[in-house]
Structure 1
Amino acid sequence: MNKFKRHENFINRELSWIEFNKRVLEECRNTNHPLFERLRFIAITSSNLDEFFMVRVGSLLDQIKVGFTKTDPSGMTPKQQLSEICKSTAKLVNSQCNYFNRSLKIALGRENINFLTIKDLNREQLDYIHDYYYKNIFPVITPMLIDRSTSFPLILNKSLNIGLIIEENDEKTFATVEVPSVLDRIIKIPSDSGLNIIMLEDILKLNLSSLFGTSKILASGCYRITRNADLTLDEEGAEDLLEAIEESIKQRKWGAAVRLEVEHGMDSDILSILEKELEITKEQEYKINTPLDLSFLNKLINNKEYERLCYKPIKPYNPLKYIDDEDIFDTISKKDILLQHPYESFDPIVNLVRQSAKDPSVLAIKQTLYRVSGNSPIIKALIAAVENKKQVTVLVELKARFDEENNINWAKQLEEAGCHVIYGLVGLKTHCKLLLIVRREKNGIKRYVHMGTGNYNDVTAKIYTDIGLLSSNPYYGEDASMIFNMLSGRSIPKDLKKLCIAPLNLRERFLYLIDQETKNAKIGKPAKIVAKMNSIVDKEIIQNLYKASSAGVKIQLIVRGICCLKPKIPQISDNITVISIVGRFLEHSRIFYFYNEGEELIYLSSADWMNRNLDRRVELLFPIENIEIKEKIKRTLRIYLKDTLGAKQLNNDGTYSRIDKRGKKPLDSQETFYQYSLIENDKHSSLEKTKISKTKWREEGFKVKQNQD
């Protein structure tokens, strides 16, 4: 076998993802984050695990069910992967419980925020709970007794439930009660000071006897199931894609159970019944020593009384705010503009669409939308453009997982307003981020484009690091027109001048660029690749990186999430290093640098190095040619690579460790980028031009020194 293809040279994708979620979880130990932000990290790990089991584990179980035994690049069968996933997840969940119980709850107590149990309540508080239950909870709940005449109910995906064993006429019977999601799960208990809270399910458990009359309750405990949501959609056979996806969303609630979470100390009889009825194995069970589903902590985080325990909102720099030209088109015509979110504002993109909607010279607006916010100003601007007689074409990707319902609603609104709405290509998700504005000017028709690495979402633009380019480069504009014609007219774009798209030629372009560095290294020329992305999974890309490393190419990878590549394999990946950065902001930008014999090539993209991005999605890769912008991006990459505080390094065994700081200056990349934005804000708003101190950084919600409790 080719040495680059050996199983031992690859890390399993699913285990790499668990390592990523472990890095997210570890942020909740970092006392440099404000307390509620540490809660946010532990809530994120819970939400991440839900999606992981619904999609990835659900898919593996489907493969096992049909007897699929083909191994992945790391040499593991689906059954072996599932076994290792369960073991690794059990350790992760155990760490999650320990962090919450031994660290976060204690830290909350110091802020006089206390999680109480029934045993902690005095008589007055118990009376309050009793009254609260009958006024607010009792009218909503529906108990379900499962006897010989009743089949086991369909338990809703991700719902919180209480299972019971009750004794009636000397017979043991199972019953279940859903904890109503329409009610607040965190209940505030009256107290003289601070915030004393009790969980909704604890109140319900205290009052279970009110639901089952004279029956004796022998045991009770909370449980929660996760169902398979990786539902395959037959697009070819779907006459109406929108209706088909609406139906698949409904089906998602009732997929096969893939995980069972139960509270610690759950009665064995209840467990046995749940295992049998849900067809769950012991391996798929997780005993939780905290309240189930810690994502409920997001409700606590959003308590405005405790804003001091959260980061202050970021103050992004708007590079267009201080430019004399009022006309954004004049500004873009003079030079390309790079925006690095969240340090630089998303407002110029929103304002571009808004101005285009009103500008009498604008003839058409075309845009791709993958995920947008719930109150999207861009959607409103597009609707306004239609009302102002512009030709508006919007590609709304209905298959954006877990955003389907939101996107269906937006698609209907846009259609009702008169927009030309298209739903992409059969079998492909349209993931590229592209905006095209066609304008009539004195010298003829002119096109303006925005291309980016992230979604047109004004909310996530404040918490995701992404990069976008505004340009009037005619080659970009011509290519963008051909891409939109492909999306709406199913034509194959020919002779693209600057842009590459998947699945047409993006994979080939990446392989060519890697190969050029390999060839240069083999003849003794300097060769280097730096790439930043969310994930690297694609086997062919990894094999070609191994070949490049073996030839002497220096390869530095910044991969936030999944990485199936193993660094530092003798004679294979000696020249490859991989770091991952997890911090306040979600690292989402994709940047690709190739030394190219000194004629440096820099690209931005919507795509990661994953099979799905290169083969099953419409993705965009665009070059950066402006010298000033190229220098800015090179500086960005250098800062990421010098990160000693937020970064962790991938080891050869798939684990991650902290960067060795010996002989290096302490540097947090996200802190550094934010300092630059504050300096620019101060400089352009005519404030005193002073160096942003570490004290000011802390005032904005950051600290430099990394402490671990």
Structure 2
Amino acid sequence: MTQADFLKAPFPAAVELPPEEVDGPKRFFNRELSWLGFNWRVLEEAENPKVPLLERLRFLSISATNLDEFYTVRVAGLRELAHAGNETPAADGLSPSEQLVLINADARSLMEHQQVVWNALRSEMETAGIVLETSETLRDEDRAHLDEIFLSNVFPVLSPLAIDPAHPFPFIPNTGYALALQMKRSSDRQELKALLPIPHQIDRFVALPDVGETRRFLPLEELLLLYVGVLFPGYKVTGHCSFRVLRDSDLEVEDEAEDLVREFEVALKRRRRGEVIRLSISANAPQPLQKVIVDELHVGESEVIELSGMIGVADLKELVLDDRRDLLWPSFTPRVPERVQDHDGDMFAAIRQKDMLLHHPYETFDMVIRFLNQAAADPDVLAIKQTLYRTSTESPIVTALCEAAEAGKSVTALVELKARFDEAANIRQSRRLERAGAHVIYGFLNWKTHAKISTVVRREGGKLVTYTHYGTGNYHPITARIYTDLSFFTCDTALGRDATKVFNYVGGYAPPEGLENLAISPHGLKSRLIELMEKEGDNAEAGKPAAIWAKMNSVIEPDVIDALYRASQRGVKISLVIRGICGLRPGIKGLSENIRVKSIVGRFLEHSRIVCFGNGASLPSKKARVFMSSADWMGRNLNRRIETLVECTNATVKAQIVSQIMAANLADEAQSWVMAPDGKFTREIPQDGQQLFNCHRFFMENPSLSGRGSAGAADVPELTHTED
């Protein structure tokens, strides 16, 4: 579908529903079930024949990892509410206990289908020369190799444990995997139950010697069964099973913690010891073994999932082999913007020329690192301020900040300790920054600082100039290779003042006043969005063109959804690209007939947050008001986090966002799932020989508008900026 086709396409016919589904709680979809729907879409990519084989395996692994996190956080929270007798309904009217019933049924189906997908992929992998062996299919010459592997790399870190009154049941950590054994002693037939907890440090799949061009692996549990005689001399296995546990991983921090870092270190230890909320165990496990595992882990029947096949599907990511390029996406090297090259790599000179928007991963994230590296080395730079929500273990961003601090520059790092599952890494980074002499602040105890901002203050010609970077993603060079995000660089004085006020707010708790081109949550970002939506409604009622285009990861905040419903009822045409959770129901007569929703799941993870308002004209248009944000439209982001909504006013940046990024996302067919009024998503299946438009391929092949240099670039095919 070209841009022109998309703009001409009518909105789908609206469906009529009973009044109670239009006016009451049923006008919202349940958040948790919507998230499960997204994970089904991820899993279905593992079955997409257009996707390379090992990338399909990666999608399967991602679907399992996603589900693990969903259980350890979201389901754990609902379970706690239900156990406490809390029947407060969610926005859609379902109580915690009602949600748990629906979640467990859908999640069980999803896990069962993961096994179906794995069996199909395993067969294809064997055809492609990647084989998973079993103890029965091993070759004689494999044993010598396995002897060395077991004795050198496995045996030293194992702790085989008997289960009896003298040996209490061991602690199995979150995502912990173990082999349970039922044995008899050869000498006197004495029975013994035992466990082999498997440390995370051991690879799940053991590489075997290649046979010709065939790569071969043995699952670790099969290896352990081969060497039970070494671990338990004199015993013979009469039955066995494997199991994996998930624990409550939500953090609770005392309100009056005197030392926030120390409190989080304690909380992380509590996380590892949280209650078991899901037990996956081999189907047909010996009943005595299953009973002792279930009893000792204190799990109920609804929390036990018996699986025929692979336990721990998330571990399959180990079989995504980097050296099998024929089974992976074609290699792609992110571009260095032409404008930066025109200035011989000088980021400050490129930004001084005019505002610049980079679209990651298509434009390299190295430009963000270069920005900070140059700031650290530049004698004219006086100060750097930086937010850190998630970043890599050996972060080049943190290294640049440390070097700047050691060089005597004023460095302020705002480290968010509550970045879920990155708390330990962030504590380490904060210690490193403090040792280098940086001023480290942790923001608010009750609100996460999720905003992505960096400022560099530079002395130029007797005055101070502030260079600012606003992002939609994290300062994480690894995820930046696969997440689609925006990086906006500017030396606009108003945006620099706004950024400085945000840092002062988080460091000193005084709410900022007089923000010029910026709105922040929880102080005004949501009301600003709703005000802009209402203005589009005013335009529609005045007979002017009225449109909203938005791209988010999630939309569930009830006030925002109701504002979108009101805009639709007033005649505003609303097109949403929502990757994950969507609590809004599109295409319902009298409620949302002017709203359409799609989800894009493909090679890259859609992560940027964008919203465009027609402002009295149709989209795309030069008159549009264009914003980028760190915030999804969720209650936590709009009401309980520090987030940013930045208005982009530079004409080229606006054109890039509206006419290139948003138009391509909306025109995409190859990776798009369209949401129906009943909440189901469907995607277009291409006919033989049909080439559907793929926005990821488009972005890989076409340079960003605002990154073009003096040499120019090829015209953007079919998605050029249009006049009003």
Is TM > 0.5 for Structure 1 vs Structure 2?
A: yes
The Cα shift of 1:282 comes to: 2.5
Paired AA for residue 241 in structure 2: G
Tell me whether 1:305 sits opposite 2:331 in the alignment.
no
> Residues of 2 paired with 1:254 and 1:143: CA distance?
21
Matches within 5 A, 1:11-410: 11-102=29-120, 104-126=121-143, 128-130=145-147, 132-167=149-184, 173-193=192-212, 194-234=214-254, 236-301=255-320, 303-319=321-337, 320-324=339-343, 327-410=346-429
Please name the residue that 1:698 is paired with.
Answer: none
Overall identity of the aligned pairs, in % = 37
Please name the residue that 1:544 is paired with.
Answer: 563
> Residues of 2 paired with 1:372 and 1:56: CA distance?
23
Report if the CA contact (8 A) 1:4-1:543 is conserved. no
The Cα shift of 1:29 comes to: 1.5
Aligned to 1:190, the other structure's residue is in SS state strand
Change (3 A) 1:246 1:477: same
> Residues of 2 paired with 1:139 and 1:433: CA distance?
44
Change (3 A) 1:257 1:469: same
Matches within 5 A, 1:481-630: 481-598=500-617, 599-630=623-654
Alpha-carbon deviations, 1:456-515, whole Å to 9, x = none?
112221111001111111110111111111111121111111100111111111111111
The Cα shift of 1:6 comes to: 1.3
> Residues of 1 paired with 2:715 and 2:483: CA distance?
28
> Residues of 1 paired with 2:155 and 2:381: CA distance?
58
Report if the CA contact (8 A) 2:340-2:350 is conserved. no
The Cα shift of 1:541 comes to: 0.8
Paired AA for residue 675 in structure 2: L
Please name the residue that 2:697 is paired with.
Answer: 671
The Cα shift of 1:307 comes to: 3.1
Paired AA for residue 55 in structure 1: V
> Residues of 2 paired with 1:584 and 1:25: CA distance?
13
Paired AA for residue 666 in structure 1: L
- Output the aligned Cα RMSD: 2.5
> Residues of 2 paired with 1:6 and 1:172: CA distance?
61
Q: Which moved more, 1:134-143 or 1:348-357?
A: 134-143
The Cα shift of 1:344 comes to: 1.1
Report if the CA contact (8 A) 1:453-1:468 is conserved. yes
> Residues of 2 paired with 1:681 and 1:77: CA distance?
50
The Cα shift of 1:126 comes to: 4.1
Paired AA for residue 162 in structure 1: L
Report if the CA contact (8 A) 2:115-2:310 is conserved. no
Paired AA for residue 458 in structure 1: P
Aligned to 2:413, the other structure's residue is in SS state strand
Tell me whether 1:468 sits opposite 2:487 in the alignment.
yes
Paired AA for residue 624 in structure 2: E
> Residues of 2 paired with 1:328 and 1:449: CA distance?
12
Change (3 A) 1:331 1:126: closer
Change (3 A) 1:535 1:570: same
Aligned to 2:342, the other structure's residue is in SS state coil
Report if the CA contact (8 A) 1:316-1:677 is conserved. no
> Residues of 2 paired with 1:45 and 1:293: CA distance?
11
Is there any run of 5+ residues in structure 1 with no aligned partner, and where?
693-709
Aligned to 2:678, the other structure's residue is in SS state coil
Aligned to 1:177, the other structure's residue is in SS state strand
Aligned to 1:421, the other structure's residue is in SS state strand
Q: Which moved more, 1:285-294 or 1:45-54?
A: 285-294
The Cα shift of 1:32 comes to: 2.4
Change (3 A) 1:365 1:105: same
Aligned to 2:32, the other structure's residue is in SS state helix
Alpha-carbon deviations, 1:429-479, whole Å to 9, x = none?
000010111112215121110111011112221111001111111110111
Alpha-carbon deviations, 1:573-592, whole Å to 9, x = none?
11111100011101000000
> Residues of 1 paired with 2:66 and 2:161: CA distance?
30
Report if the CA contact (8 A) 1:190-1:196 is conserved. yes
Q: Which moved more, 1:528-537 or 1:284-293?
A: 284-293
Alpha-carbon deviations, 1:11-56, whole Å to 9, x = none?
1111111111111111112232222211111111111111111101
Report if the CA contact (8 A) 2:656-2:704 is conserved. no
Alpha-carbon deviations, 1:198-224, whole Å to 9, x = none?
111111123324433444533111100
The Cα shift of 1:179 comes to: 2.0
Find the partner of 2:673 among 645, 648, 661.
648
The Cα shift of 1:651 comes to: 1.7
Change (3 A) 1:100 1:680: farther
> Residues of 2 paired with 1:131 and 1:481: CA distance?
59
Q: Which moved more, 1:206-215 or 1:510-519?
A: 206-215
Matches within 5 A, 1:681-700: none
> Residues of 2 paired with 1:493 and 1:680: CA distance?
30
Report if the CA contact (8 A) 2:702-2:716 is conserved. no
> Residues of 2 paired with 1:601 and 1:135: CA distance?
63
> Residues of 2 paired with 1:614 and 1:620: CA distance?
10
> Residues of 1 paired with 2:323 and 2:348: CA distance?
43
Tell me whether 1:444 sits opposite 2:469 in the alignment.
no
The Cα shift of 1:562 comes to: 0.6
Report if the CA contact (8 A) 2:357-2:707 is conserved. no
Report if the CA contact (8 A) 2:356-2:707 is conserved. no
Alpha-carbon deviations, 1:391-428, whole Å to 9, x = none?
11110111100111111111101000000110111211
Q: Which moved more, 1:463-472 or 1:344-353?
A: 344-353
Report if the CA contact (8 A) 2:357-2:706 is conserved. no
> Residues of 2 paired with 1:659 and 1:681: CA distance?
33
Report if the CA contact (8 A) 1:9-1:569 is conserved. no
Aligned to 2:498, the other structure's residue is in SS state helix
Alpha-carbon deviations, 1:600-642, whole Å to 9, x = none?
2110000000000001110000001011211111122111111
Aligned to 1:677, the other structure's residue is in SS state coil
Q: Which moved more, 1:291-300 or 1:253-262?
A: 291-300
Aligned to 1:63, the other structure's residue is in SS state helix
Paired AA for residue 78 in structure 2: L
What TM-score do the two structures reach when normalised by structure 2?
Answer: 0.90
> Residues of 2 paired with 1:91 and 1:486: CA distance?
47
